[in-house]
Structures are given as C-alpha cells and as structure tokens.
Amino acid sequence: MKQKKNILNVFYDKQADVLYMSQGKPSADDDTSETKDEVVVRKDSKTGEVKGFTILNFLKRTEDKPSIITLPANLAIR
C-alpha cells in the first residue's frame, strides 16, 4: 500500500518518552541532525525538505502545561 505524501504519522513511545512524527518511511539517504534542544530532524537529502522529527523527553517538556494527548494518530496535512 502506497503512503500518501500528505499523511503525518505520529507515534509516542511511553517507555522512552519519545514522540516520533514522520511523513513517509525513513530512508537510508535521509539526512538527520540533532538540535540543541533534543529534537532530531530528518530531511530529504536531495530537496532539504523536512520529512520527520523526533522529540526526546516529550512529556517532561509538557509537565507544567495541561494537555490531552491521544496517540498513535494519523494526521492529514492540508
């Protein structure tokens, strides 16, 4: 089944406290870099387009902010 490009896949790993967001499947050709605030960004090596990112310590960042999070979820980007 072919994934649509405008679908954003979201997965939260509770045990590791990591949120993954990805547009399409990761590729060995993708470029990845970690920002100073523990976010890993994955980009298409040819176009530089952001294809996904990973947020480390996700819930620890939101402890003082009330929120409701239901994951996994599929989001359509419009």
Domain of residue 49: give its range.
Answer: 7-63
Tell me how crowded residue 41 is: count the other CB atoms within 10 A of its CB.
15
Give the mean model confidence (pLDDT) for residues 45-70.
79
pTM, 2 dp = 0.69
Tell me how crowded residue 57 is: count the other CB atoms within 10 A of its CB.
14
Cα(56)–Cα(33) distance, rounded to whole angstroms? 13
Asked if the structure places residue 21 within a domain, the reply is: yes
Asked if the structure places residue 47 within a domain, the reply is: yes
Averaged pLDDT score across all residues of the chain: 79
Does residue 78 register a pLDDT over 50?
no
Cα(31)–Cα(10) distance, rounded to whole angstroms? 19
Asked if the structure places residue 50 within a domain, the reply is: yes
Burial class (CB in 10 A: 0-12, 13-18, 19+), 66: exposed
Asked if the structure places residue 58 within a domain, the reply is: yes
Q: How many structural domains is the chain composed of?
A: 1
